[in-house]
Structure 1
Amino acid sequence: MKFSTKPALALFLVLFSFQCINAQIDANSLFALPRATNTEILSITAPNPGSLVYNTDDNGIYKFNGTNWSAIDDTAKLKSVILNRNGGYNIPNSTNTYYNFPINNGHVQYIDNDIFQVVSNGTIRILKTGIYMISAELSTSNMPAGNTKYIIAAFRNNNLIAYLNRGSVSLTNQDWWGSTGVVMYNLNANDLISLRYVLNAGQTLHGRLMNIGITKMN
């Protein structure tokens, strides 16, 4: 008599699959990528194109494309802090004197708390080492007539590191005015970044739009 093996084979496959699904996975048997900080990754000598590494600063996977390391998963998207303030405030100023942007934790539009901490007016603490893009905008509704010197600058730990914009505005009549600028800079964990301005206006200015944005690029 000839017996069919198909039912037995089917039962075996079902039981085998059930066992595999319910088996406890040993964490030590999982495939794991090398782990490294930003600094360690950038110091790797001549990595092969296609190499993968887990970035412990960004908590994401990076791939080497033959020239640069780039994030390949959603957990390593650009990290930002955005502060924005609309009108209804004064902009203090005095000849050739730096003032912090009057914008603080109460004006946060978006923040990645793993990367940034708003400390005080115009001052943000950087929590992770990396390359950052820093931007700032300042505007007023009553810039006086004549020539007015202005500066928008970035300070790191109270030391001037960059002018985002500087120059002189010349108006025939009191009018609206604004300026913005961007700079890229390599920053370290616990650096304090302050955005400051100089306005030689000689009068109280009415703030209109003010913005600070910092984004971690890698």
Structure 2
Amino acid sequence: MFTTHPDIGERALLRPAPQEAYGAYQVSVARTLEDLQQVVAIRSAVFLAEQDCPYDEEFDGNDLCATHFLLKRQGRPVGTLRVRWFADFAKLERIVLLPCDRGRPGLKVMLAHMFELVSRKGYQRMIGQIQARLWPVWSRTFKCELIPGRSPFWFSDYEYREIEISVPVHPNALTMTEDPYLIIRPEGAWDRPGVLDASVTRSNNKRSAA
């Protein structure tokens, strides 16, 4: 779970979430099987049940190579999105909220944390494939534009458009010269010592014994 305010990520939003929303919601990267089950439950409730998307089109073979974000309110999973990584851009996908949380500020909280992580990884742009009918919504939510010269296309019975999203530059973007212990920490938790940091003491004791 993220513990810091996503100052950089919030800059990608056209209007920030109310400050109190960051206390009401929790956002985390899905790291466990239980986390992924919650992601699947939310997407199944909306995309499969509400939008009648075929199972094999919704769960498309990309979930185990993506980073998933999980939004909770009062401990209850209410939203999710996923990001996939390419050479010089990231791709925003599968943004979804349960009906009980639509129109609330949780979406902006989740997006701000997502943009923060994307920026920290050094990306400055993302692409998204959005349902064409939702362009007015996304164009008022974060800094984006329709990609010029790209025609609408269809899949899973909906018309889609491609957008480019501007990601703010992070002053502490990760590079290959980072401390090696930082790089091996869990995704998004680079500033907190991880389990492998703690293993250093054990390794030092073994060297001393030798």
Q: TM-score when scaled to structure 1?
A: 0.24
Report the structure, 1 or 2, having the larger helix content.
2
Q: TM-score when scaled to structure 2?
A: 0.25
